[in-house]
Amino acid sequence: MSHTISDTNFKFPNQTNLYKGKVREVYSINNDLLVMVATDRLSAFDVVMPKGIPYKGQILNQIATKMMAATADIVPNWLVATPDPNVAVGHLCEPFKVEMVIRGYMSGHAAREYASRKRVLCGVQMPEGLKENDAFPTPLITPATKAEMGDHDEDISREDIISRGIVSEVDYLVLEEYTRKLFQRGSEIAASRGLILVDTKYEFGKTKQGEIVLIDEIHTPDSSRYFYADGYEARQIANEPQKQLSKEFVRQWLISHDFQGLEGQTAPQMSDDYVTTVSERYIELYENITGEVFVKADVTDIQSRIETNVLNYLKTL
């Protein structure tokens, strides 16, 4: 698994800052542009796993940039260029300190909360009588506070976000509107590929000019859960697990190895064979959601490739 990128420490011309998140590393240029490098790190339960996943960064970056292009007519975004398969360049924004999670189906975290008899999630009422993977009558927005690397995101209600001044009411209404528009478009794109967009999260920021824009990733397997549409109803009727494309299979593997990111728990080591399986699942999602064959980038020396491509791009500015 040597041909992965787990950490970078570039020194670009006019670089003013470097921020390292769970999966991405963000370089500020002239306090104006951001160079976002998608690494091959794998995060689950808000914990970064010991091993990287081959091609994961390329897959996340390319899905996200394709989806930015496919939604730019309904929601403005930060993206300017993609000079490398693992890199996106965009406008510097002040991020909102919330993640806008939207759920069309009762799956994942929502299902686990529901199974523990909770019926209110982030201040939003969940109907009685649902079973795992049932559709909600209308999609639910269940925000989370954004965590620093290694910390857990926390559920939070719309009321708490506004009352605590995390986001103003005026801005929050825009975030909700954009979230619903993006989820609707994402659902339509997924349906055209024989998939169901189950749930996802969006992040937003504000430009220097005060415009609210979509930032970070969108509709990737790290930020979204997909089911295969074919057979969905039959599996629900038969009380069978849904066939899905998402990171949930990694979470379930970790749970089976007694890890949920809780205090005192240590992330289990993944075998090379299992890491290869995870990589193949990411490629499967890429090809299903984009309808294109995934073309693996040259990974002989990923660090040098990224540095060269970014430097060549910055020379054009």
pLDDT at res. 114: 96
Token pair in block for residue 265: 């728990």
Other C-beta atoms within 10 Å of 199: how many? 24
Please report which helix (H) or strand (E) contains residue 124, including its range.
Answer: strand 124-125
Token pair in block for residue 36: 């976002």
Token pair in block for residue 135: 């559709």
**216-244 average pLDDT score:** 93
Token pair in block for residue 70: 């496919």
Q: Poorest-confidence range of 116-125, 186-195, 278-287? A: 278-287
DSSP state of 243: P
pLDDT band at residue 233, thresholds of 50, 70 and 90? very high
pLDDT at res. 27: 97
Q: How far apart are the C-alpha atoms of 72 and 217, rounded to whole Å?
A: 13
Query: Is a pLDDT exceeding 50 seen at residue 286?
Result: yes
Domains, the chain, with CATH or none: 15-94+271-315 (3.30.200.20), 96-249 (3.30.470.20)
pLDDT per residue as tens digits for the range 11-55: 999 999 999 988 999 999 999 999 999 999 998 888 899 899 999
pLDDT at res. 135: 98
pLDDT per residue as tens digits for the range 51-90: 999 999 999 999 999 999 999 999 999 999 999 999 999 9
pLDDT at res. 147: 61
Token pair in block for residue 58: 């390329």
**230-258 average pLDDT score:** 91
DSSP labels, 185-234? HHHHHHHHTTEEEEEEEEEEEE-TTS-EEEES--S-TTTEEEEESTTHHH
DSSP state of 77: B
Please report which helix (H) or strand (E) contains residue 83, including its range.
Answer: strand 79-84
**96-107 average pLDDT score:** 97
Q: How far apart are the C-alpha atoms of 309 and 315, rounded to whole Å?
A: 10
Quickly tell me which residue has 């857990």 as its tokens.
152
Identify the CA nearest to 86 among candidates 15, 20, 16, 25. 25
Query: Is a pLDDT exceeding 60 seen at residue 2?
Result: no
Side chain identity, residue 237 = I
Q: Is residue 229 exposed (0-12), middle (13-18) or buried (19+ Cβ within 10 Å)?
A: middle
Q: Beta partners for 35?
A: 27, 89
Residue 68 has φ and ψ, to the nearest 5°, of -60, -45
pLDDT at res. 148: 55
Query: Is a pLDDT exceeding 70 seen at residue 297?
Result: yes
How high does pLDDT run on average in the chain? 93
Q: How far apart are the C-alpha atoms of 156 and 139, rounded to whole Å?
A: 17
List CB contacts of 22: < 8 A, sequence separation 6 or more. Answer: 41, 43, 46, 48, 149, 150
**290-317 average pLDDT score:** 96
Q: How far apart are the C-alpha atoms of 299 and 287, rounded to whole Å?
A: 20
Token pair in block for residue 144: 């989370």
pLDDT per residue as tens digits for the range 132-172: 999 999 999 999 997 654 455 789 999 999 999 999 999 99
Q: Is residue 297 exposed (0-12), middle (13-18) or buried (19+ Cβ within 10 Å)?
A: middle
Q: How far apart are the C-alpha atoms of 187 and 196, rounded to whole Å?
A: 6
